[in-house]
Amino acid sequence: MIIIENVKFSYPTSNFNFSINKLNIADGEKVAVTAPSGYGKTTFLNLISCILTPKEGNIIIEDEIVNNFNDSKKRAFRISNIGFIFQDFELIEYLDLKDNIALSYLINPALKLNKDIEKKVIELTERFGLNDKLNRNVIKLSQGEKQRVAICRAILSSPTILLADEPTGNLDPENKENTVNELIEYSNNNNAILIMVTHDFSLLEKFDRTIDLGDFYAN
């Protein structure tokens, strides 16, 4: 469970501010996050993932106040618990598809790229229809294929929290539908929290509830 209590956040170089008095997200819950541009949707995800730290208040995940962790413990927490799908995919252009999926295991000494992980990479590419492109450079992939690579990378470590920052924004209708369905299926199969930022109101019915961050923004 994620519990957000009395959280306040602002950027020192802008007039952006928002505060959340109380917000709970249950294990296995699928939550859509909406708001106009500039209202803190990405900031909200970054606070949950400990990339940003609130000025006040607490973010509690599985009974631990994660914003009080030091930097190394925050990194370890992200590695162990969170899968993040970025809006622009953030794939490494000089790496092939397989190494992009396993990227965290290649750059982080806390993760061991063993035979079990290599096998899981192959299984994920088969599930997502990418197994014939394992050694292809990602710059040669379509937008839909890049999105599937980003999903595979996010779920490789079996996270208990899956954060997705507008993952369908650059996709055609078919790939958009498939992407959301895959994220929801992962949440269902793993009792994982799914928090997805979206501007697409046609997708909201797929989620357990919608959070409008405009309710927490103060200019």
10-63 pLDDT per residue, tens = 988 888 888 999 999 999 999 999 998 888 899 999 999 999 999 999 999 999
| 3-state secondary structure (DSSP) of residue 46 | helix
Question: Contact, 201 vs 34, CB < 8 A?
Answer: yes
- Reading the block at residue 198, the tokens are 């979206």
pLDDT of 203 reads 93
User: What pLDDT, on the 0 to 100 scale, is given for residue 217?
Assistant: 59
What is the structure's pLDDT at 43? 93
Burial of residue 95 (number of CB atoms within 10 Å: 0-12, 13-18, 19+): middle
Query: Which residue ranges in the chain fall short of pLDDT 50?
Result: none
Helix (H, G, I), strand (E, B) or coil at 8: strand
Q: Which long-range contacts link 7-15 to residues 24+ away (Cβ below 8 Å)?
A: 7/47, 7/54, 7/56, 7/57, 7/58, 7/59, 8/54, 8/55, 8/56, 8/57, 9/40, 9/43, 9/47, 9/52, 9/54, 9/55, 10/55, 15/219
**Considering only CA atoms, which of 79, 49, 50, 84 is closest in space to residue 154?**
84
Question: What is the reported pLDDT for 169?
Answer: 79
What lies within 8 Å, CB to CB, of 181 at 6+ separation is: 206
> Can you list the domains of the chain with their CATH numbers?
2-216 (3.40.50.300)
Pairing type for strands 17-25 and 209-212 reads unpaired
- Show the tokens assigned to 178: 């498939």
pLDDT of residue 74: 93
Q: What's this model's pTM, rounded to 2 decimal places?
A: 0.92
Structure tokens, 207 = 């989620």
Question: Tell me, what DSSP letter sits at residue 135?
Answer: T
User: Is 16 in a helix, a strand, or coil?
Assistant: coil
Residues 6+ apart with CB under 8 A from 123: none
Return the pLDDT at 218. Answer: 56
